[in-house]
Amino acid sequence: MGDLWYNKSMKVLAIESSCDETAAAVVEDGVRILNNVVVSQIDIFAEYGGVIPEVAARSHLEAILPVIHKALGDAELTMDDIDVIAVTHTPGLLGSLLIGTLTARMLAILWKKPLFAVHHLKSHIYANWLGREEVKECVIPEFPLVALVVSGGHTQIIYMQEHNKFEIIGTTRDDAVGECFDKVAKVLGLPYPGGPSIAECARRGDAKKFKLPHPQVEGLDFSFSGLKTAVLRAVQAELGVPINTPSFELAEKLTEQQQADFAASFQETACEILLEKLKIALRDHPEARSVVIAGGVSANAVLREKVAEELLGGSGTKMDKTDDLKTRELRVFFPEKRFAGDNAAMVGVAAYYEMLVGVEPTDPYALDIAPRSVIG
Ligand code: KG4
Ligand code: ZN
């Protein structure tokens, strides 16, 4: 790890606007959250059943300055107290990214602060370092680590040898798992965003009721588009309607119990698929010391249970001595629920670790956005 270029207590003002959350946070020394403000546009998009990029950008524009004011004001801070500005510049929706980055660039120029541009998936991974100030160093993730990144736009397995070094070892070939939750929710007539509404509905359902296929994809890659279609076909078969029946006509025909059984069976299968690949990645990397789950889908309770069960032998104890993964000294991390979805505190901590390894600030006059990009 390089020398700290800045070594007094460092406060990062972080800004996140890559999709449909407008967020600002102040993070001190990469761990203490002085404030974390998230304004969600979920209420707007629940009505449409998904995000409309132009509407998202306009909402960010309205919210961003009040959100930054609140992040600073509630913590009784002014821009004079801030040492560094950090912002998400990739990947995400073009208009949404523009609002956050233009605001951050303006603040950095006007207040002469160093500016860090952070990759969104890095931030999701670094959410696992957040909010652990009361605990000792041994309970933050240790390297090398394997990260399972599961969000609305991405499904990847990433190997990290050390801070700020990312190697993608598995990725989805089509849909992201979060996107699959959102699309299946639509078929079942559940509100946007699909992840939380499927999780809620599934509590009343039987996860073994419908058998759904696991895609046969070699190695560590994923495929989720087949699972979405499999749910659609299973719903059509259950209702006894032809396969050309449009998906929007199906939900109203489902009973509440059928809806819950489909939600539970889908959730179970999606989590099993994620876990199968994660286990292969861990067997490929016997030297890995930690597992980090990141992104919006990491909030899922069934995924959390399954990971704990399969990697730790249930409730954190290592019981099954015959299973190589359960006998390994693996530490498993999930972000606190409030840091699983999009927020700015995770951007602040990711920027902090960039600084720590000697990454230079970016030129605020030149910073550009990239709606699509790979982590690196
Ligand atoms: O990371 P995130 O907030 O935004 C992106 O970077 O995409 O992830 C959003 C995704 C959505 O697809 C949402 O349905 C899903 O995360 N999600 C969940 C849960 N909470 C959010 N999926 C499954 N179970 C949940 N509890
Ligand atoms: Zn995200």
Residue type, 226: G
Burial of 280 (0-12, 13-18, 19+ CB in 10 A): middle
Q: Is the pLDDT at 283 greater than 90, yes or no?
A: yes
Ramachandran angles phi, psi of 25, nearest 5°: -150, 155
DSSP class of residue 31 equals T
User: How far away, in angstroms, is 76 Cα from ligand 1 center?
Assistant: 32
Q: Is the pLDDT at 313 greater than 70, yes or no?
A: no
Of 63, 15, 69, 13, the closest CA to residue 43 belongs to 63
Q: Is the pLDDT at 280 greater than 60, yes or no?
A: yes
Q: Using one digit for the tens of pLDDT, what is the confidence trace for 190-213? A: 999 999 999 999 999 999 999 999
Of 61, 67, 58, the closest CA to residue 15 belongs to 67
Distance of CA 298 to the CA centre of its chain: 7
Q: Give the DSSP H/E element, type plus range, for residue 312.
A: helix 301-312
User: How far away, in angstroms, is 356 Cα from ligand 1 center?
Assistant: 29
In the numeric block, the tokens 């076909």 are attached to 233
User: How far away, in angstroms, is 79 Cα from ligand 1 center?
Assistant: 32
- Across the chain, mean pLDDT equals 93
Distance CA 177, CA 75 (A): 36
Of 223, 325, 320, the closest CA to residue 279 belongs to 325
Q: Nearest ligand, CA of residue 180?
A: 1
Q: Which residues does 104 contact at the CB level (< 8 Å), separation at least 6?
A: 15, 85, 86, 87, 115, 364, 367
pLDDT of residue 2: 45
Burial of 367 (0-12, 13-18, 19+ CB in 10 A): middle
Closest Cα to atom 19, ligand 1: which residue? 195
Burial of 223 (0-12, 13-18, 19+ CB in 10 A): middle
- Ligand 1 contacts (CB < 6 A) are 19, 124, 151-153, 178-179, 181-182, 193-196, 199, 295-297, 299-300, 341-342
Q: Which ligand 1 atom sits nearest the alpha carbon of residue 153?
A: 7
**How many residues does this entry show for the chain?**
376
Distance CA 208, CA 316 (A): 25
Closest Cα to atom 1, ligand 1: which residue? 296
Q: Using one digit for the tens of pLDDT, what is the confidence trace for 7-55? A: 568 999 999 999 999 999 999 998 889 999 999 999 999 988 899 999 9
Closest Cα to atom 8, ligand 1: which residue? 296
Region 130-143 average pLDDT: 71
Q: Which ligand 1 atom sits nearest the alpha carbon of residue 194?
A: 14
User: How far away, in angstroms, is 196 Cα from ligand 1 center?
Assistant: 8
More confident residue, 87 or 3: 87
Q: 253-265 burial, b if ≥16 CB within 10 A, otherwise e?
A: ebeeebbbbbbbb
User: How far away, in angstroms, is 91 Cα from ligand 2 center?
Assistant: 9
pLDDT band at 132 (very low <50, low <70, confident <90, very high): low
User: How far away, in angstroms, is 296 Cα from ligand 2 center?
Assistant: 6
pLDDT band at 314 (very low <50, low <70, confident <90, very high): low
Closest Cα to atom 18, ligand 1: which residue? 195
Whether the model clears a pTM of 0.85, i.e. scores above it, the answer is yes
Distance of CA 102 to the CA centre of its chain: 23
